[in-house]
Amino acid sequence: MQIHLSEIIDSEGKVIQITPELELDTISFQLGEYPILDKTPVKLTIANIGNKVLELTGNGSVTVGIPCDRCLEQVSVEISYSIERKLDMKQSDEDRVEDLDENDYLTGIDLDVDRLVYLEVLMNWPLKVLCREDCKGVCPKCGVNLNHQTCNCDRTELDPRMSIIREIFALLGAPLFVRYFGRLSPICAGGATTMDTTLPIITRYCGKDLVFVSIFHGILVDFTVPFFVSFFCSM
């Protein structure tokens, strides 16, 4: 909704109170587009405090549909806002751009209430949204919502320290593996790390002719493990 400010700009000390209806239906920015499920009229007060400076004060709220951060189900979130801004009507639109003033809700003497509320809502946007405090989220393997049903996927998380131990084992054990089990054994022991972390030691002890085999093995393991894990969990 646009409000024409001509009647108050030249009337020092004048105060007007209005309750415009919002036409805003969605909140869109880099994170996505979110529907406005409910909204209250903006209680807006505009006061001329002298020298063609207008003071805006007001408040309101909107209810926005935002996905839960864990299970992605839509949550109705009420976002309240308060408006406290001053507008120097002596400035032109070009002056505001030069001053890096982000009052893009003001064009000439027309106030865009929807744009003003949009900016206030963004400033009060919640950092985290949950459908409930004990939300179980979704299964990272099959995607089922664990709040409504269960699945048979193995969600055991491996200790990341085990990967480091495996890499150290492959690095330090490479000479012995080659001696007792053959040149391909360090590649088998290194897993996906044979294309990066353990590649130098494999090259040294297994020979440069196996570099391609080592890189191919690492890439193959890295890409196929998720598919095999999902396949066996679904059996």
Whether residue 220 sits in one domain with residue 170 = yes
For residue 205, being part of any structural domain is answered with yes
The pLDDT of residue 231: 67
106-137 pLDDT, tens digit per residue, is 888 888 999 999 999 999 999 999 999 999 99
Whether residue 119 sits in one domain with residue 16 = yes
For residue 129, being part of any structural domain is answered with no
**DSSP result, 110-121:** EEEHHHHHHHHH
Q: Report the pLDDT averaged over residues 55-69.
A: 94
The pLDDT of residue 25: 94
Q: What percent of the chain has pLDDT over 70?
A: 85
The pLDDT of residue 199: 83
Whether residue 102 sits in one domain with residue 10 = yes
Judging by beta carbons within 10 Å of its beta carbon (0-12, 13-18, 19+), is residue 32 exposed, middle or buried? exposed
Whether residue 181 sits in one domain with residue 117 = no
For residue 26, being part of any structural domain is answered with yes
Show which of 94, 123, 152 is a domain's final residue.
Answer: 123
Count of domains for the chain: 2
Q: Report the pLDDT averaged over residues 175-197.
A: 82
This prediction's pTM:
0.62
Q: What is the DSSP letter of 138?
A: B
Q: Helices 211-233 and 199-206 meet at what angle, rounded to 10?
A: 130
Range of the domain at 105: 2-123
For tokens 């408006």, name the residue: 83
For residue 141, being part of any structural domain is answered with no
- Residues 37 and 171: their CA atoms lie apart, in Å, by 58
